[in-house]
Amino acid sequence: MKRKSSRLRELPLASLPRGSLSQASSLKPQASQGRIRVLGIDPGLRITGFGVIDKTGNTLDYVTSGCIKTPADGGLALRLKTILDGLGEVIAANRPDQVAIEKVFVNSNPQSTLLLGQARGTAICAAVLHDLDVAEYTALQIKQAVTGQGKAAKEQVQDMVKRLLRLAGDPSADAADALACAICHAHGGQGLGKLATAGYRMKRGRLV
């Protein structure tokens, strides 16, 4: 594999286990049956988050996560190419079995929605070019699956992702959203009944 691109911003090694792309590139899928590697993607034209997890039975294990940042002074075509190339590197390094991506929501700014849709389409193309199946989930489905409520705040999603994957630190917001998407897919888009969250409760906006 080529030298790691500067576009890929990994979470600090001090914060999360197995947090660098260089480490993750050596983690080839195991031959044992029942283990599925899922790549979650949180698409964005400026920042695209990604997160890779392994599912073995009902157990989830963190592999790697990070962000692909596009050049602020680049045109649309260059930004989309950055996303395509960056996700291609992530896929080649980690060899996921399946891909999950968040669906685009329509907001009050049609131009922003259009640009987000183009970033999302590019992310889907990156997966399809590697012959990977792509599942799509709404933000409400992802939040419901991970936290138990569809209107959970980003901080609640980050906290629950940290707990479910037994991380030493909080992932960034974009990486957490991508990991949450992967977790949602790993459990068939189901809610808390499918997740090992028994005993957790909400306190001041955080799961405890």
pLDDT at 192 over 90: no
The answer to whether position 2 is within a domain reads no
- Rounded to whole angstroms, how far apart are CA atoms 119 and 63? 24
Report the domain count for the chain.
1
The residue with tokens 């999360």 is 16
State mean pLDDT over 100-122: 86
Query: Tens of pLDDT along 33-43?
Result: 688 999 999 99
The answer to whether position 59 is within a domain reads yes
Regarding pTM above 0.85, the answer is: no
Domain span including residue 160: 8-207
The answer to whether position 1 is within a domain reads no
The answer to whether position 181 is within a domain reads yes
Q: What is the pLDDT of residue 113?
A: 86
φ, ψ for residue 29, nearest 5 deg: -55, 140
Three-state SS for the chain is CCCCCCCEEECCCCCCCCCCHHHHCCCCCCCCCCEEEEEEEECCCCEEEEEEEEEECCEEEEEEEEEEECCCCCCHHHHHHHHHHHHHHHHHHHCCCEEEEECCCCCCCHHHHHHHHHHHHHHHHHHHCCCCCEEEECHHHHHHHHHCCCCCCHHHHHHHHHHHCCCCCCCCHHHHHHHHHHHHHHCCCCCHHHCCCCCCCEECCEEC
The answer to whether position 141 is within a domain reads yes
The answer to whether position 3 is within a domain reads no
Active site residues: 42, 102, 174
The answer to whether position 102 is within a domain reads yes
Quickly state the pLDDT bin for 29 (edges 50, 70, 90).
very low
Asked if residue 144 lies in contact with residue 150, where contact means CB atoms within 8 angstroms, the answer is yes
Quickly state the pLDDT bin for 21 (edges 50, 70, 90).
very low
pLDDT at 190 over 80: no
- Rounded to whole angstroms, how far apart are CA atoms 179 and 1? 24
The answer to whether position 195 is within a domain reads yes
State mean pLDDT over 142-151: 86
Q: Bigger pLDDT: 78 or 57?
A: 78
Query: Tens of pLDDT along 115-146?
Result: 899 999 999 999 999 999 999 999 889 998 89
Residue 70 is part of a domain; what is its CATH number? 3.30.420.10
Q: In what order do the strands lie in the sheet with 47-56?
A: 8-10, 59-69, 47-56, 35-42, 98-102, 134-137
